[in-house]
Amino acid sequence: MTQLDEPMCSLHKTIADLEQALTQSQIEIQALKQAHKQESIDRERVEAELKASQQLLQLVMDTLPEAIFWKDRNSVYLGCNQNFAEDAGVGSPQNIVGKTDFEMPWKKEETEFYRECDRRVMLSDKAELGIIESQLNSEGKQTWLETNKVPLHNPDGKVIGILGTYQDITQRKQADIALQELNQTLELQTLELKSALDQLQQSQLQLIQREKMSALGNLVAGVAHEINNPVGFLMGNLQPAQEYIRDLFELIDLYQKILPNPGKEIEEIIEAIDLEYLREDLPKLFCSMGEGINRIASISTSLRTFSRADAESRVPFHLHEGLDSTLLILKHRLKVNEHRPGIKITTNYQQIAPVRCFPGQLNQVFMNLLANAIDAIDESNQGKSFSEIQAQPNRINVSINLSTCQQWVVIGIRDNGVGMTEQTKQKMFDNLFTTKGVGKGTGLGLAIVRQIIVDKHCGTIEVNSTLGQGTEFILKIPVEIV
Ligand SMILES: Nc1ncnc2c1ncn2[C@@H]1O[C@H](COP(=O)(O)OP(=O)(O)OP(=O)(O)O)[C@@H](O)[C@H]1O
Ligand SMILES: [Mg+2]
């Protein structure tokens, strides 16, 4: 063995070791390369899968009929589906990212409403479903949406944004609006029909009552007219008749003066007719005849007042004349009869200026109220004897006053008749409500009164009634009816 053999030997060994290490490294590198390659294949596969799944998700979202979007905490868009992208006018979903509602075609107030809603949902961490809102979309179409907004959370449960979906409900909304409009029109038509029906009923009522009143009015007017001629004739003749009588007395005086002794036959007649008394009494007789004629004349005037037909417009009218003439027409019902003494009438009329009104209609009111008062009194007399009634006489009080503010004429008609039950009080003004027997009452009187006082004369009616004690009607008519 030479001296070099040993180092050579060790060198060879080292080389062999190195070669082995190299081979080992190459194997490892190869393995690493292989692993790396496998890794990139895996990554590519995962990426492809991820992309496919994202595409599927997008496809799913794009296929849904709803529009879908999601935003971050600041209401900045992070994504949406195709439907939303089209409404927003951004073409495709990726273009929405980073935008806010201010860059969208919606109206300013819509934008503010959406963002306010976003804020509320994120703050309360509670979903809001079925929000009905409007949207002006990219095509310039005003649509109606039904929107749902739910908060989005990170894995820690913190709210990081919102997810929204909506569907276009414009057609439904339009149908709703059309239906509402239709309903309103129908309601309006129903109201119009109802008021037409009411008016028809009122007119019918009035016609019936007017017919009644006009028949009575015609009769009364006819009687007044017939009385008028003979009264005028009497009035005209009374004065000359008095003068003739005076002349005749003067002639008798002259005869007595010239022939103080006319003879037995004449003296007997003078005594028989009691010439002295006759001379004294005859002028008185004429006076009372004159009074009687005046009374008939005033009755005739009252009758004409009562039966006056109304003009189209209001005319000045002394209300007390209306009340007095109505009382006159009803006199036959107020007088004593076999069942009861006469009904005592008291009138308290404050002196007031004539009121501009429809006199014929007000007379109709007075007639109805006074007739009701007499009916109520007659009803209260049922089962009582003449003397019992006499002890507590039947009374009707009629009054006219000016209210303290001078704006209203206040007419009071009070009776001490039977009074009203609570049920009657509730219903007395209803058409056809009556407590009277068949053929006695039609139940139209007070309905007509209400119509004439409230509707026609812009007045009011107050009724105070106590069962068993009596009833008071207080009518108020404005002095100046506008
Ligand atoms: N002064 C009154 N006292 C008591 N009850 C009254 C009085 N006035 C009216 N009523 C009640 O109100 C009801 C309705 O009165 P209304 O005048 O409308 O009809 P009516 O008198 O019964 O019939 P008509 O159509 O003949 O007048 C009466 O039936 C009566 O019960
Ligand atoms: Mg009546």
What does the alpha-carbon distance between residue 300 and residue 293 come to, in Å, rounded to a whole number? 10
pTM listed for this prediction? 0.56
Rounded (to 5) percent helix, strand, coil in the chain: 60, 20, 25
- CA-nearest residue for atom 26, ligand 1, is 441
pLDDT of residue 248: 93
Work out the angle at residue 110's Cα, subtended by the Cα atoms of residues 109 and 116, and round it to the nearest 5 degrees: 90
What does the alpha-carbon distance between residue 245 and residue 285 come to, in Å, rounded to a whole number? 12
Point out the ligand 1 atom lying closest to the alpha carbon of residue 429. 18
Tell how far the Cα of 425 is from the centroid of ligand 1, in angstroms: 10
- Choice among 133-147, 265-279, 290-304 with the minimum mean pLDDT: 290-304
Confidence class for position 38, pLDDT limits 50, 70, 90:
very high
Confidence class for position 264, pLDDT limits 50, 70, 90:
very high
Tell me which residues have their CB closer than 6 angstroms to ligand 1: 368, 372-373, 376, 415, 417-420, 424, 428, 433-436, 441-447, 471
Q: Which two tokens stand for residue 336?
A: 């004593």
Tell how far the Cα of 283 is from the centroid of ligand 1, in angstroms: 50
**DSSP-derived 3-state class of residue 34:** helix
Point out the ligand 1 atom lying closest to the alpha carbon of residue 442. 25
Mutation pick for ligand 1 pocket among 209, 369, 434 (CB with most ligand atoms within 8 Å): 434
What does the alpha-carbon distance between residue 39 and residue 31 come to, in Å, rounded to a whole number? 12
Tell how far the Cα of 327 is from the centroid of ligand 2, in angstroms: 15
What does the alpha-carbon distance between residue 289 and residue 110 come to, in Å, rounded to a whole number? 96
Tell how far the Cα of 376 is from the centroid of ligand 2, in angstroms: 10
Confidence class for position 482, pLDDT limits 50, 70, 90:
low
What does the alpha-carbon distance between residue 280 and residue 446 come to, in Å, rounded to a whole number? 55
Tell how far the Cα of 436 is from the centroid of ligand 1, in angstroms: 8
Residue 187 in this model has a pLDDT that exceeds 90: yes
pLDDT of residue 229: 82
Matching residue, tokens 């070791």: 17
Confidence class for position 439, pLDDT limits 50, 70, 90:
confident
Residue 305 in this model has a pLDDT that exceeds 80: no
pLDDT of residue 442: 80
Tell how far the Cα of 471 is from the centroid of ligand 2, in angstroms: 13
Residue 481 in this model has a pLDDT that exceeds 70: no
Domains defined for the chain, CATH in brackets: 64-168 (3.30.450.20), 195-307 (no CATH), 314-381+392-482 (3.30.565.10)
Give the mean model confidence (pLDDT) for residues 280-306. 84
Point out the ligand 1 atom lying closest to the alpha carbon of residue 419. 4
pLDDT of residue 311: 67
Residues having C-beta closer than 5 Å to ion ligand 2: 372, 445
Nearest CA to 240 out of 295, 298, 286, 297 is that of 286
**DSSP-derived 3-state class of residue 227:** helix
Express each pLDDT in 160-172 by its tens digit. 999 999 999 999 9
- Residues of the chain with pLDDT > 70: what percent? 98
Ligand number nearest CA of 449 is 1
- Choice among 188-192, 224-228, 360-364 with the minimum mean pLDDT: 224-228
Residue 381 in this model has a pLDDT that exceeds 90: yes
Mutation pick for ligand 1 pocket among 428, 453, 465, 471 (CB with most ligand atoms within 8 Å): 428
